[in-house]
């Protein structure tokens, strides 16, 4: 017969699961362009504020030789027809591309795209939402080194 010292046996903890962590990310692959260039309603004309933001973008791109391409993404608010907004968003992106080329970026690295009203940052029918959605943002392609 067994000994009973009055203490309950401690349950055995479940085996620890092995965690698989993601490989470390090359810091260069985390690069992004945070500047968002705003536009007035129905306009593809750059403002002084927009030109100042783009000068920062040019400095960033010129200082980062790993950038393969810069995607210039034009957007519009929901005021107006879808056809008009798509055309306007393409004009906004093209305006920015031309300005960046004028500041010394290589034309063949710049891709202007228009998304119309399809990708709002704020999905609402308020003036604040419309203002936020009238914009051009950018994304960088860092090539195969970063899986893009």
pLDDT digits (tens, 9 = 90+) for 25-72: 566 677 778 889 999 999 999 999 999 999 989 998 898 888 899 999
Tell the burial category of 107 from Cβ atoms under 10 Å away from its Cβ (0-12, 13-18, 19+): exposed
24 pLDDT band, cuts 50/70/90, is low
Distance from first CA to last CA of the chain, Å, rounded? 69
Sheet-wide strand order for 110-114? 37-38, 135-141, 69-74, 110-114
pLDDT tens string 112-142: 999 999 999 999 999 999 999 999 999 888 8
22 pLDDT band, cuts 50/70/90, is low
pLDDT of residue 146: 76
The alpha carbons of the chain give a radius of gyration, in whole angstroms, of: 25
pLDDT of residue 48: 93
- Residue 77 is classified by DSSP as -
Cβ count within 10 A of residue 36: 15
């Amino acid at each position: 017969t067994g000994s009973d010292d009055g203490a309950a046996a401690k349950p055995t903890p479940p085996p620890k699961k092995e965690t698989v962590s993601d490989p470390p990310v090359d810091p260069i692959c985390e690069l992004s362009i945070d500047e968002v260039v705003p536009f007035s309603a129905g306009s593809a004309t750059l403002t002084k504020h927009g030109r100042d933001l783009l000068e920062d973008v040019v400095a960033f791109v010129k200082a980062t030789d790993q950038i393969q391409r810069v995607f210039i993404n034009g957007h519009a608010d929901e005021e107006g027809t879808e056809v008009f907004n798509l055309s306007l968003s393409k004009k906004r992106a093209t305006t920015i591309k031309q300005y960046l080329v004028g500041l010394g970026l290589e034309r063949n690295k710049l891709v202007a795209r228009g998304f119309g009203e399809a990708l709002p940052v704020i999905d609402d029918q308020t003036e604040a939402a419309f203002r936020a959605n009238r914009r051009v943002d950018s994304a960088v392609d860092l090539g195969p080194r970063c899986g893009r």
